[in-house]
Amino acid sequence: MNSAKLQMLVFSLLTAIVTVAGLAYIFLDPPAYLRSTREGVPYFTPPVANPVDGKPLDLNMLARHFEGGGAK
């Protein structure tokens, strides 16, 4: 095995290891910015604009409303 093939093998193995480790980390212990509420709304979601009057609305309230839970 010549030097170029060995370098490519090492590079490929390191890439595969880093990829699998990164995916395992994301699925086993997700960071806070990837977590979501019971309605599926991410925790760090900015308010959305009401198209009628332009006031900011909480996205969790909208999700509950469209689920049928009402706007509390």
Structure confidence by residue, pLDDT tens digits, 5-25 = 999 999 999 999 999 999 999
| pTM of the entire predicted model | 0.51
Scored b (16 or more CB within 10 A) or e, 6-22 reads eeeeeeeeeeeeeeeee
Between 29 and 17, the more confident residue is 17
**pLDDT at position 24:** 94
Mean pLDDT along residues 45-49: 86
Q: What is the pLDDT of residue 70?
A: 57
The range of the structural domain enclosing residue 13 comes to 1-30
State how far the alpha carbon of 33 is from the alpha carbons of 4, 30, 37, in Å.
41, 8, 11
Does 18 share its domain with 42? Answer: no
CA distance 68 to 41: 15
Residue-level pLDDT at 59 = 82
Domain count, the chain: 2
Q: How many CB atoms lie within 10 A of CB 45?
A: 13
Same structural domain, 25 and 48: no
